[in-house]
Each structure stands twice: as structure tokens, then as C-alpha cells.
Amino acid sequence: MPELSYRDAIRSTLIEEMDRDPAVVLLGEDIGQYQGTFRITADLLNRYGSRRVIDTPISELGFVGAAIGMAMLGLRPVVEMMTWNFSLLAYDQIVNNAAKIRYFSGGQVNVPLVIRGPNGAGVQLSAQHSQSLEAIYAHVPGLVVAMPATPTEAKGLLRTALRGNDPVIYMEHAALYSLKEEVPDGEFMMPFGVAEIARPGRDVTIVAYSRMLHIALEAAEILAEDGIEAEVLNPRTLRPLDRQTLVASVGRTHRAVVVQEQWRPFGTAAELAAAITEGAFDLLDAPVERVTGADVPMPYARNLELLALPHAEDIVRAARRTLYRETAETGGRADG
Amino acid sequence: MADRATRTSSNEGVAAGSVATTDRTGIDLTDAVAWYRQMVIGRRFEEETERAFRRGKIGGYLHVYSGQEAVAAGFLAELRADDIFFTAYRDHAHALFRGSPPGAVMAELLGKATGVARGKGGSMHLFDVSRGFYGGYGIVGGHIPLAVGAAYALRYKGGDQVCLCFLGDGAMNSGGFHEPMNMAGLWGREGLCPLVVIVENNQFAMGTPVSQSSAVPNLAARFSAYDIPAERVDGMDFLAVRDVARRVITQVRAGGRPQAVEALTYRFAGHGAADVFQPYRTKDEVETARARDPLAILEARLREAGLLDDARVASIGEEADEMAREAMRFAEESPPPPPEDLYKDVYGNGA
């Protein structure tokens, strides 16, 4: 198994699928001559030419819509969203067209489209460039929402997206691009809607995805020093969501902490907590805890930005609260 | 049921192998009677839908095409069987003119399982992919980028098909128009965008006249911003529209570069079925426009050329009425979608 970075896992999968299937084309801003803002598409214009690696104008509505039209005609476009923040300019195309065309056409046409790019915060890009927007996409029927946390997931989920028939919101995290691990060889695929137990444990289930998975694992280490064995569950895709594995885990641990990088109200943590409550209410020994980012536009100043994001210690405290080893504050952050 | 719907296809008679005919001035009249018949069918179909809407048989919105028939007919007359098109929500006639069975179109409007989209789309989302109709869309301007990408895909796959994109005058003021038009202009330079944009300028964006919504009221002129050749045509004259369509589609097919046509037309009915009082225009204005009814204009030309007479006009009218009634009977007798269809076709992978 070769060691690959998260970035190279994405890039090599694109190359493998473009070599295999001429229907795969790439579109986005500065993905060709500029080589991609995060160099995911480095050298691909040179390899595949401008018909398959299409540098677009700054027209999110336009190129996402065009990619939907391409997908309806049987191509497999992969749109690079320079960052997911800019996807709001294409939100109508994604929600009103990509997600719905199969349904309102009575199943006459598929939209096998992948939209990928970095999501999330952490490098002082302030309010407009630091958003975690997975909840607004996971809300919409017709979309798949994949949140790869590791190079292996990046590869396996992207290949599944590229071989499927549906529009996939594929959210990378810029803080993970250099993360390395050994990744399975060959045409490795990872199914949607199958969660992973990233770390087994018996005392409390911590649910986290994307970058938050890594701080959840860090928290589990800290908890272990205190004799608390946390089970860390990574849903990998939010839509479809593996409710079964989630409920089974909480059924074993009887306690749950749900982690989400940003805004708490009506967010993914709320949906995950509801899924736990619906599926395992009688098995819970404590209220489900949410650890989320602050309910504010992301501030620029480093100290404020750090205050606005969840950290391992927040998860540790929340886990201890579910075990009644820590006085309940206000259910996580003060802004709850 | 499906067989019956298929049998009532309105497109019989516009078949291959028709004989070329011209009038005294050299205007091509080939198949013009068949297209006159199509336009009458389109009109009578819409009148049937309006009655059904008033009786509560059709839910939601209903946008009828009466007055604009020559535009869709003129362009679809020149579309090859393997070509494709997109349009907005005023889409019933486009489906009929392309050959979708009237019964299946009406059934869609009534929300029935036998509808062209199995009752999932309704009036605004007619689809018939087997005939290259990639949909009616309800968000103004939202379908335009789809057509641009679809045109690219046609050329990318190596074929010489073209993609038509019908849109209204109101859509030209949305971002959904400008971003993809710029891309179409760029891709057209490489011969990668065989797209014909057809602006159906019916003079109103709902109730706002073009003069109040477009800083440049000559809509064709606005395409120059994207290096897309554009022209205007009398959208009430089927023969004129078809003539322009033939030339433009041939050029776009050959070069893979987009072109646009602004068809000047007029919406006889309100914006939607709920637009009853139409305070934005006078009865006189509508009456003046009705004096240039596209059906009457074509009928007069065909009478003059000796291709239509009173008897034939009457029989086409009766046939169209019967076809509309039969479509309604078929739709009413059809079952609604079964409850299990609620969760069907959300995903292509199953799920």
C-alpha cells in the first residue's frame, strides 16, 4: 500500500478515473493553467488537454449549471469549487437543478456530478472564507454529502462518487491536504452511508467527521489517560447517514457526544443527536452533548478564531459531562 | 393506457419524406399544413387546460402558450430527431410539437402516473428525454447554463447535434443568463458550443414590460456582449421563424458556435392561470395583438397558396378539438401515481 497525502489521494483518483473513463471532465476556476488553488489538479491540463480540464470564468452559477447539463448528457463532470464558500453563488443550481432533476423528470435522467473543494475554517480567512456548509447541503434530498477525513476516505469516497449516478457534494478540508497515510491500491471504493468505528470504546460514543474526526481522536487519547474509553464514530457521509451503526454504538456506550466544526442551530450535530435520541432513547444514560463552533461569523483575529472553533478539550469536557464526572456548564459552549 | 397515449401522438403528419413546396414568392411551404395543424392542436390543447384549471382539475401553476405557437413550431420543425432542447415553464406546446403524446402531457398536468414525468413534475417540468426534450424548468433563467453544458457535451462526444435553449425576455435579466452566455461565447470560439438560444420575447416578464426591465430593449443586441451573433424575427410568422431557424441551426451545427434569435411574439393569455385581471395591459392592446394571431397568419398564407380551404380548416379544427378532449379523457381515466412513488427516483443509485 503506497503512502499518500490527502491531496494526492484526491488527485491520483481523478487521474485514475480520467484514464479509465473519457466521460470524466473537470471544470473550475484556475484548475488548468494555474494548476489549482490547492494543486489538486496540478499538471492535469497538460495531461488531458483543455477539452477535459476546463478553466472557467468566475461564474459559479454558470459552470455548476453547465456541469449539470453535461451530466444529464452522460458526461461525469467534476467541478472544483475553489472553496465551498463560493458555492452559495451556485446554490440554486445545486438545490433546484442537480438535486431534483431526476425526481421531477420521473426518473428519466441522472445527474452524475461531483462538486469538490475545501470546506471549513482554521487559517484566519475570516467570515466569508471560513464556513462549514455541510448542513445546508445535507438538508437537501437528491444530494449525497461526503466528508472525507483521511487519505483513504478521500480516495474511496471519490471513486464511489465518480462511478455513481447522483450529484455528490464532496467536501474536503484544507487543513487535511498534507495528512499522509497508507492507502489501499487499485480500484478501491468506499460505499456511501457506511460509518466507521475509528476507535472502539465502551464508555461514550463521540461522533465526528472531516477535520473534527482528528480532534475527536485526540480527545479520546486524553480521556483514555483518565480511564475513559471513548468510541469514536466517523459517519464519512452525512447523506446517506448510517443511522444503524450510530444507534448500535450508542446502544453499547449509553452516552454520546456529537461534534461539528461550526454553527450549532439547526446543524448536523442537531440531526445526529436527533438520530441518536430517536434510535436509542431508552438506552441513553445522559443527555446527548453537542460540541460545536461558536454561533458567530468567523472572526479574523487568531485568538478569537481559536475561541470560535471546537478543540479536543471541549470534547473531553463534554464526554466527562455525559459520565457525570464534570459539572454541567451550559451544554458545551456558552453560546448554545 | 400507454398505447392509447402513443396512438394519439400529435406529430403524425410531420413525417420524413414530405414533398418540397414553395409559394409564389419562393417561401418554402413544405410541411407547412402539417405544422399549421400542429399549431392548432397546441392552441386547442391550451384552451382545454385552461378549462380544466378553472374546474380545479389542474393544480399549481398553469402557463399557457397561446399566441407564441409560431416560435416553438418554427424551431422544432427544423430540429433533427437526435437534437435536444431545454425550455422554461411555458412548455406544453414544446412537448406536443416534438411529438410527445397529448394524453401523456395532459396526464402530467393532472398529476397522473401516465404523465410524461409520471406525475412528479407537473405543468412546469415536462420532460421527454426519448425525444430530446430535456425539460421544462421553473426558476427563471435557471435552465440556461444546463443547455450550455449540454451543448458542450454533444460536441465533446463527437456528434453534430445541436441544443436549443428557449427562454423568455424576463430571463435575460438574470445572472442565470449572463454567466452561461459568456461561457457559451468562450466555448464557441473552440467550436464546442452548438447552442441556439431562442428568446421568446412575449413583451412581459409576468406583468413588467420589456421597456421597464431591460436597459437595452433590443434584446438581440445584448448578445453582442458575449460575441454571440443574434438576430430578430417576427415570432408571429411561422414561415419566417422556420426560415431563420433553418439557417441558424445549419450554421450552428456546422461551426459549433452559438447563435441567438429574438422572436418577437405576444402572450395572449395572462402570465399564469391566476393572472386574471392583467392590470399591466389594456384589452385593446391584447385585441390588437390578437389581430396578428400566428395561426391566422399561417392559415392565410396557406389559403393563398391553395393548400388550405374552408373544409380542411374546419376538419383540422375538429380534429384538434377531439385530440384535446381525448387527451383530457385519457388523463382523467389514468390512475394517480401509487404512494410508493413518493420516494422513488430521488437517487439514481437506489438508496
In order, the DSSP letters of A36-54 are -TTSTTTTHHHHH-TTTEE
Q: What CA–CA distance (Å, rounded) separates B252 from B197?
A: 11
Contact B82, B159 (CB under 8 A): yes
- Write down the pLDDT at residue B274: 86
- Write down the pLDDT at residue A152: 98
- A103/B145 Cβ within 8 A: no
Q: Write the single-letter amino acid at B221.
A: A
- Write down the pLDDT at residue A334: 42
- Write down the pLDDT at residue B112: 98
pLDDT digits (tens, 9 = 90+) for B145-163: 999 999 999 999 999 999 9
Is residue B340 over pLDDT 50? yes
Is residue A62 over pLDDT 60? yes
Any residues with CB less than 8 A from the CB of A15 and at least 6 apart, and which?
Answer: A44, A47
Contact B330, B8 (CB under 8 A): yes
pLDDT digits (tens, 9 = 90+) for A201-232: 999 999 999 999 999 999 999 999 999 999 99
Percent of chain A clearing pLDDT 70 (strictly above)? 97
- Write down the pLDDT at residue A15: 98
- B148/A107 Cβ within 8 A: no
Percent of chain A clearing pLDDT 90 (strictly above)? 95
CA distance A100 to chain B (A): 7
Q: Categorize the per-residue pLDDT at B176 as very low, low, confident or very high, splitting at 50, 70 and 90.
A: very high
Q: Would you say how long chain A is, in residues? A: 336
Sign of CA dihedral B235, B28, B44, B81: negative
Q: What CA–CA distance (Å, rounded) separates B108 from B331?
A: 8
- A105/B129 Cβ within 8 A: yes
pLDDT, mean of residues B236-249 = 97
Q: What are phi and psi of B68, to 5 degrees?
A: -105, 10
Q: What angle do CA A100, A104, A110 make, to 5 degrees?
A: 60
Q: What CA–CA distance (Å, rounded) separates A261 from A268?
A: 10
Is residue A16 over pLDDT 70? yes
The average confidence (pLDDT) of chain B is 93
Contact B86, B150 (CB under 8 A): yes
**Three-state DSSP state, A81:** coil
- Write down the pLDDT at residue B349: 86
| Residues of chain B contacting residue A112, judged by C-beta atoms under 8 Å apart | 348
- Write down the pLDDT at residue A49: 98
Is residue B2 over pLDDT 70? no
- Write down the pLDDT at residue B8: 43
**Three-state DSSP state, A96:** helix
For the ranges A234-248, A268-282, B25-39, B137-151, which has the lowest average pLDDT? B25-39
Contact B136, B87 (CB under 8 A): yes
Peptide bond into A151 cis (omega under 30): no
The average confidence (pLDDT) of chain A is 96
- Write down the pLDDT at residue B21: 73
| Residues of chain B contacting residue A75, judged by C-beta atoms under 8 Å apart | 153, 156-157
Any residues with CB less than 8 A from the CB of A270 and at least 6 apart, and which?
Answer: A264, A290
Q: What angle do CA B170, B176, B182 make, to 5 degrees?
A: 110
pLDDT, mean of residues B316-320 = 98
- Write down the pLDDT at residue B13: 45
Q: What CA–CA distance (Å, rounded) separates B103 from B263?
A: 29
Is residue B81 over pLDDT 50? yes
- Write down the pLDDT at residue A332: 47
Contact A192, A147 (CB under 8 A): no
Q: Write the single-letter amino acid at B314.
A: A
Is residue A335 over pLDDT 90? no
pLDDT digits (tens, 9 = 90+) for B211-229: 999 999 999 999 999 999 9
Is residue A302 over pLDDT 50? yes
Q: What CA–CA distance (Å, rounded) separates B136 from B138?
A: 7
Alpha-carbon dihedral angle through residues A83, A88, A93, A96, given to the nearest 10 degrees: 130
- B151/A69 Cβ within 8 A: yes
Which 8-state DSSP code applies to residue A174? Answer: G
* ipTM over cut 0.90: yes
CA distance A244 to chain B (A): 14
pLDDT digits (tens, 9 = 90+) for B92-151: 999 999 999 999 999 999 999 999 999 999 999 999 999 999 999 999 999 999 999 999
- B120/A164 Cβ within 8 A: no
- Write down the pLDDT at residue B273: 87
pLDDT, mean of residues A2-19 = 97
pLDDT digits (tens, 9 = 90+) for B257-306: 999 999 999 999 999 988 988 999 999 999 999 999 999 999 999 999 99
Would you put residue A151 in left (φ > 0), alpha (ψ -120 to 50) or beta?
alpha
Q: Given A29, A60, A196, A231, which residue is catalytic?
A: A60
- Write down the pLDDT at residue B18: 61
pLDDT digits (tens, 9 = 90+) for B17-71: 566 677 767 788 989 999 999 999 999 999 999 999 999 999 999 999 999 999 9
Is residue A333 over pLDDT 80? no
Going through chain A in order, the beta strands assigned E by DSSP cover 3-5, 24-28, 53-55, 76-80, 114-119, 144-146, 168-173, 180-182, 196-199, 204-207, 230-234, 237-239, 256-260, 289-292
CA distance A319 to chain B (A): 33
pLDDT digits (tens, 9 = 90+) for A149-172: 999 999 999 999 999 999 999 999
Most B CBs within 10 Å, among A56, A103, A192, A238, to test the B interface: A103
Q: Categorize the per-residue pLDDT at A328 as very low, low, confident or very high, splitting at 50, 70 and 90.
A: low
Identity of the residue in B128, B134, B345 whose CB atom sits nearest the CB atom of A102: B345
Q: Please confirm, yes or no, whether A218 is among the known catalytic residues.
A: no
- A65/B345 Cβ within 8 A: no
